[in-house]
Structure formats: C-alpha cells, structure tokens
Structure 1
Amino acid sequence: MKFFIDTANLDQIREANDLGVLDGVTTNPSLMEKEGIKGKENQQKHYIEICNIVDGDVSAEVIATDYEGMIREGEELAALHPHIVVKVPCIADGIKAIKHFSGKGIRTNCTLVFSPGQALLAAKAGATYVSPFVGRLDDICSDGIDVVRKIVEMYSLYGFKTQVLAASIRHTQHIIQCIEVGADVATCPLSAIKGLLKHPLTDSGLAQFLADYKKVNG
C-alpha cells in the first residue's frame, strides 16, 4: 500500500519523505489556509515547492464547482508540475470534468466520495484515484472502512484501474484497517504514519539489548 501525507506543511512533508516511505501528498485549500498560504499565486508556488520535495503524486484541488471553472483551474494546476494530480469533487460537473481530463491525459483524484455508487461513476469517468473519506463516515455512525472495502471489491470485480485512496484517516488503526481491506493508498497525518513504529515490545526489547550491552562492555 502507498503512503501519502495529508498536509500542506513543508516541514511535515520533508520529515515523512526523510523516513523513506512516502509516495505522495494530498492537500487542499483548507490545508493551505491552515499554513497561512493565501492567494492563487502563492498557493501555486506552494504546490511547486511540495512537488520539488516529493518524488510522487501531489493532489491539488480545484476551487470551482462548475464544469468550465474546474476545467480552467484543473488545466492550470496540471501545468504547474508533472507530479500534480487534479483533485475534483464528486458532483455531476466534477464527473464530467474527470472525463474531460482523462481524455487529455491529465490525472485526477475524485474527492469527497462516501459511497460505492459515487466511486463507480468516478471510475467510469476515468479517475486516477478515488478518495473515500473514512473518518467522516465514522463521524456519522457509518463504517468508513467497510465503504473502502466495497469499493476495492467492486473495482476488482469489474477490472477498473482507478486506485482507491483512503482519505480522512484519523489514527494508526485506520491505516491497519485500510491494509486489511486492500486500499491502494492511504493518505494520513504524519502522526498516524509514525504511530506504525510504536510497539511496547520494541521499546522493551531495545532497552534490554542496551542494558545487556552495558553489562558486557561496561
């Protein structure tokens, strides 16, 4: 499974990349705002900075919600860097835009997906990635991981090439569950990725090794 980091923070992206396990980045205008990156020109420069750090796909989201606006913004974003994947919401005009981009060779990430039906439309339109939002489904007492599982099984059954990019990952256990149901990608906060390193037996084992070494070597 691929690891993407879900942030616009350059320090976190560098740290994740330095671990040697990072495959890409997802970000959006809200995450840009959180980092104080305001204005179209500054945001585009920031996307390029991210692309220069990571040797992998970087999802950059359109703001427009109409077909013409999505096409205009998406083509601008795709032209910024070869790593850019245009992130498009799963609405009617978004599906139409994904079909257009697919025909132009522009890769896409269909975002805000909450059902297998939405994922089916995105795949048929030619989306490169589809992003079911695990945590947000859990928030309304639904089962986000089960939706990911159903999408993975549907794509496998019908031979769709669209990759399942599990999003809205809240914690390390979500990552483990995404692995178990066969997600192609999980986009996560840095804390969730680093959480995979933690195990009490690793800590106690290392402490014992060091103690034994000290006894022998003084």
Structure 2
Amino acid sequence: MFLDTANIEEIRKAMKTGVFKGVTTNPTILLNERTPRAEKVREILEEGVPFIYVQTIGETVEERLEDCETILALDGEGRTGLKIPMDIAGLEVVKQIREKYPDCKILGTAVYSADQGIFAALAGCNSIAPYINRMSNNDLDPYKAVSIIRDFIDERQLNCEILGASFKNTNQVIQTLASGAHSVTIPYNIFEKMMNKELAVSAIETFNRHGEMLKEKY
C-alpha cells in the first residue's frame, strides 16, 4: 500500500507500521503543505521513505516532459516516480519517458474509466490510479471499471498494476481491492479508521485493564 499525503508527521507514523511501500502526492496535497514542491519532496525522502510518486504538471506534452525531468532530478537514487495524468497528451508523455528512461516508475493518474485505464496500461504505465470516490460522485461505477481493467491486464499479461486512489471511507478501499485492484493509496485518516476500530480499541483496553489487575492480584 501507499500513503496519499505529504504531511511529515503522518508519514512518520505510518512508516513505522511497515505496511506502506511509499508515498503518493499530487499538486493539491503539496499545496496544502505550504512548502515548495522540491523542498517537500526532499524532506519526505530524508525521512527514509522508500519511494514517492510526484505528479507532473503542464498543459502541453512539452511542458509535462520538462516537468518530468525536474521531478526526476530531485533524487539520484531511483526513489522518485512520475504520476502522469491520463489524457492523450499524457499517453505521449508516457511513451517518451518510457523510451528515455526504461526503468522509470510511471503511475497513470486521474483515471475515471476502464477505457482510460486500458490505454494507460498499453502505453507502458507501471501502475494505474482509478479515482474511486470521484467516480462514485459522478454516478460512475468504479468497481466495475477496476474489474474490467484487471481482466484486461491479466489476460494480456501486462506489466501493470492497479493502484486504487481517491477514498472517503474504508468500505471503498475494501471494495476496490475485492474488485481486483492490486493495491491502494490511502490518506492517513482512512488508515486510522481501518485499524483503530471502536470494537477493537475497546477490547484492547479491556485486555490491558485485566492484565494490570492480574499483575496486581497474582
């Protein structure tokens, strides 16, 4: 799993659990941190995060390619990948980056449909990020889209994974994984809700209380 944030405190807490492969960011997430992008990315890498995806910006293919070079220059150890928005220009960017940097990790983002995801996989993206909550909010079925993309990838044995994104509740995460997503990128508050269930927290508190009583009495 990946953590969808640029907040250092959230990253520190989450990485201690050992279940996250890295961090995903986008311009909106980075804007919320009120720090220049390059500075924030380096700060995240200095925390020992194994990998970070940074989204490219630009209206044209040329602008996005230039931004790709800027992002890749932020780290010389191969720990930075590119999030490339999936439109026609995005497909061309993926093609050119794949030719120039064969080992570069590319995440096709802003995916709202199965057809977008299929083209992203064919273009050479290592991962695809369907926007689950945003699709639901626009009366689209994100889980059917994930299932179709997964079948397409598996049938053709493409080197591409589905990384579900854009979640507002824990049920969306589970349904996305059950529909065939290989993994997900989630904000820290969703991670907390997935693990600190009220019933589980209550049971743990009871066990701890009884454990202390056991030590006192025996």
Q: Same fold (TM over 0.5)?
A: yes
CA distance in 2, matches of 1:24, 1:217: 41
CA distance in 2, matches of 1:197, 1:48: 29
> Which runs of no fewer than 5 residues in structure 1 stay unpaired?
none
Q: Look up the SS of the partner of 2:140 in the other structure.
A: coil
Answering whether residue 176 of structure 2 is matched by residue 159 of structure 1, we say: no
The number of residues matched between the two structures is: 212
Q: Structure 2 vs 1, CA of residues 49 and 201 (structure 1 numbering), >3 Å: closer, same or farther?
A: same
Answering whether residue 69 of structure 2 is matched by residue 71 of structure 1, we say: no
Percent sequence identity is: 26
Query: By how many angstroms is 1:30 displaced?
Result: 1.3
Map 1:196-211 onto structure 2 (within 5 A): 196-211=194-209
CA distance in 2, matches of 1:52, 1:66: 32
CA distance in 2, matches of 1:207, 1:28: 38
Deviations 1:87-121 (A, max 9, x none): 11111111011011111222211111111111111
Which of the numbers 106, 112, 123 marks the counterpart of 1:114? 112
| Residue matched to 1:177 | 175
RMSD (CA atoms): 1.7
Query: By how many angstroms is 1:54 displaced?
Result: 4.3
Deviations 1:124-168 (A, max 9, x none): 111111111001001112222222222112111111111111110
> What's the TM-score once normalised by structure 1's chain length?
0.89
Q: Structure 2 vs 1, CA of residues 120 and 202 (structure 1 numbering), >3 Å: closer, same or farther?
A: same
> Which runs of no fewer than 5 residues in structure 2 stay unpaired?
none
Which of the numbers 86, 107, 125 marks the counterpart of 2:82? 86
CA distance in 1, matches of 2:212, 2:55: 54
CA contact (8 A) 1:58 1:84 kept: yes
